[in-house]
Amino acid sequence: MSVQPVPAGHPYTRSVTMPTPAGVRILPDPVVDPGEPGRWWPHPALEPEFHARHDVDVLHIHFGFEHLGAQRTADLLRALDERGVRLVLTVHDLDNPHLANQAEFHRQLALLVTRADHVITLSPAAAAEIRSRYGRPAEVLAHPPIALPGTHPAARPGQRPDWSGRSGTAGVFLKSLRANVVTDPGFYRALAAETYLHEGVDAPDLAGLVTHRHPPMADAELFDAVARHRVVVLPYARGTHSGWLRMCRDLGTSVAVPDCGCYASQAGAGEGVAVYRTGDGPDAARAVEELLRDGPAPVPPVDAAAIRARHHEIYRGLAAGRGLPR
């Protein structure tokens, strides 16, 4: 059986599908631009015409569909129905972090959740919201590790990290300053954190508040930067789940998360996470102080192999349901 993830090459998708067992074939992302072979967006498998030309048994959509709009999403779903393609949807985002206006994205999400043969999400809070909004159950599968054991000395699941030598100042990573990042300079003044921002990003309101201007970091450099800090603050004004949250905890760094979205639910009730009022710099500073006072928290282990096996089980079950071999 063939499964087309959207996207296939993203680290999250690879971690929940690869390696594959006998009988399951994960299709790679088609080449969108030969001059930029690593780019998967806009993903061809989201176009209705793709499925008239390719034999796909299961389409698994993770993210990257917002460019379609609701009408084109409906066209895609009709094409899947005509071809008998089963649909798995992982709801990473109830609110899209890249968009300021969520209305069209919400219309798309309603269409996808309603049509999906199986819905996955990453936290109990998101599953409850999916049931409330759409009347559909969603299976909760934890976010897999980002910094795996062996990728960095600090990535030691189940163990209490060594904070000696780490900075007692919080780190805030603004990256390219996407649409859901707080830009109020008062937030960062109250926080008094080391602030990282990509070179070339125009942020005049934050002039004088950015500590580190840098190009996008490779994984090893990024892990080093995060592991320098005892605490990292997620400066988000909206959103749902966060791979950054998972990565920080993998590296033994505690995390202050906003009370919007499902960040706290994703983190669970364990140590190493404190919640602050969204956009409130003094309350974020209070959360940082709480985490510093609590000290290093054990790195929460995640059974990545079990998560991967469950994905394969879902694919096989759907394929068996349409008469395909297990």
Residue-level pLDDT at 323: 44
Q: What is the pLDDT of residue 326?
A: 32
Q: Tell me: the pLDDT tens digits for 2-46?
A: 999 999 999 999 999 999 999 999 999 999 999 999 899 999 999
Q: What is the pLDDT of residue 320?
A: 86
> Which CATH architecture describes the domain 171-294?
3-Layer(aba) Sandwich (3.40)
Q: Which regions of the chain are under pLDDT 70? A: 322-326
Which CATH number is 2-142+305-321's, of 3.20.14, 3.10.100, 3.40.50, 2.120.10? 3.40.50
Question: What one-character-per-residue DSSP string does 229-254 give?
Answer: BSEEE--BSS-S--HHHHHHHHTT-E
- Residue pair 184/162 in contact (Cβ under 8 Å)? The answer is no
The pLDDT assigned to 270 comes to 84
Provide the pLDDT for residue 262. 98
The H or E element that residue 171 is part of is strand 171-173
Give the β-pairing of 231-233 and 118-121: unpaired
Alpha helices in the chain (DSSP H): 11-17, 50-53, 69-83, 103-115, 124-134, 185-191, 219-227, 243-250, 263-267, 281-294, 304-321
The reported pTM is 0.96
Alpha helices in 116-207 (DSSP H): 124-134, 185-191
Tell me whether domains 2-142+305-321 and 171-294 share a fold: yes
Cα gap 308→119, rounded to integer Å: 15
Average pLDDT taken over every residue of the chain? 96
pLDDT of 325 reads 39
Instruction: Check: CB of residue 189 under 8 Å from CB of residue 206.
Output: no
141-165 pLDDT, tens digit each: 999 999 999 999 999 999 999 999 9
What are the residue ranges spanned by the domains of the chain?
2-142+305-321, 171-294
State residue 322's pLDDT score.
56
Residues 6+ apart with CB under 8 A from 188: 172, 195, 206, 209, 235, 281
Q: Two tokens at 125?
A: 């809070």
C-alpha to C-alpha distance for 285 and 27, rounded to whole angstroms: 45
